[in-house]
Structures are given as C-alpha cells and as structure tokens.
Amino acid sequence: MSAVSAFIKDYGPAGAWVVAAVGWLVANKQANKREVRKEVRAEIDDIARIGKGILTELQKYYATDTGSDAALLSELTIKASFKELDLRFDRLHSRGLAEFPVGGLVAANEPREAFFDLATGVHFETSSRPAAAERSNLIVRQTNACLQLTEALHAQFLREFDGVPSAHS
C-alpha cells in the first residue's frame, strides 16, 4: 500500500500532464479529421459544380456554327473546365485518404473518364455537329456520366468519413 502511495506521490503530477496531453492529442486529431472532411466535401461540391457548368457549356457549344468565334470560345471553356476538374481530382487524391488513393482505381474513375471522352471526343472540335437525335442521345450520356461521377464521389466520401460500407462489399 505504501508503495502505491509513494508511486502516486512521485508520479501523480506527471500523470496529470500525460492525461492532459493525451486529451489534447485526441481532440486535435478529431479537429483535423473534421477539417479534412470539410475540405474534401468542398472539393467534391466544386467538382459537381464544374461538371454542371461543362454540361451547360456543351449545350451552348452544339448550338454554335463550326469554326465560329463562339464555337472556339466554347471549346476553350470546356477544355479549361476539364483541366480545372482534373486539378481538383489530383488534389483530392494527394491527401493520402484510403478512399481517394494516389493513382488508384476508384469508383469515380470510370464515369469521370466516360464524361471526358463523351464531352471532348466524337464531334468535339470537328467540322461537324451531331444530328438532332444523335445530339440528344449524346447529351443524355454526358449528363448520365456526370451524375454518376458525382454520385460515386459522394459514396467514396461517405465510406471515408462516415464508415458507410460499399454497396459491393
């Protein structure tokens, strides 16, 4: 008994400091995680906003005459927007998060690449415009790919921060 009281007497004040330090570390880690969560959420919201902007610009683009100033401006806007989108993705994947691995395969990759190919391939920057039926079909596929991209990112976000299991697991 006397050994215990001697131990408390010797190390009691230090123990209080250790408890305080551990408490601070835990609170700090939780605050950091909240901050990262907020930043990733903002990044995903930005990606969704840029994606919607691209869809709007694509509709304007299809209404322009090929080779016109309006068409060239629209093409530039779309390509620059995709570059901005890619930049956000690279930033998202450089945070060392399990659901957003560097160069890793993630659910959002497929719709993301499909969106890019559908938007800036096929008739993009050519001397032809798709006929009405083909244009409608193309817009539907582009919109779908953009929505799937946003959905996949939200799902990755929930898995990363809220522990929501994958639909496939």
Partner 1 sequence: MSQKMISIAHEYSETPAGRYREDGPFSGQRFREELLVPALQQNEAVEVNLDGVVGFGSSFLEEAFGGLVRAGYRAADLRSRLQIKTSLATYQSRIWRYIEDAGRTARRTASV
CB 149 within 8 A of CB 112: yes
- The amino acid at 147: L
Contact flag: residue 70 with partner 1 (CB under 8 A): no
Among residues 31, 42, 76, 140, the one that binds partner 1 under rule CB under 8 A: 76
Contact flag: residue 161 with partner 1 (CB under 8 A): no
13: three-class secondary structure by DSSP: helix
Among residues 82, 99, 108, 149, the one that binds partner 1 under rule CB under 8 A: 82
Cα distances (Å, whole numbers) of residue 158 to 1, 54, 73, 105, 163: 52, 25, 37, 17, 6
Tell me the closest approach of the beta carbon of residue 167 to partner 1, in angstroms.
25
The span of 12-20, 51-59, 73-81, 136-144 binding partner 1 (CB under 8 A) equals: 73-81
User: Shortest CA distance to 63 belongs to which of 135, 156, 4, 148?
Assistant: 135
Backbone angles phi, psi at 105, to 5 degrees: -80, 120
Residues 6-35 that bind partner 1 (CB under 8 A): none
Q: Could you list the residues that contact partner 1 (CB under 8 A)?
A: 75-76, 78-83, 86-87, 89-90, 93, 102-103, 113, 116-117, 119-122, 124-127
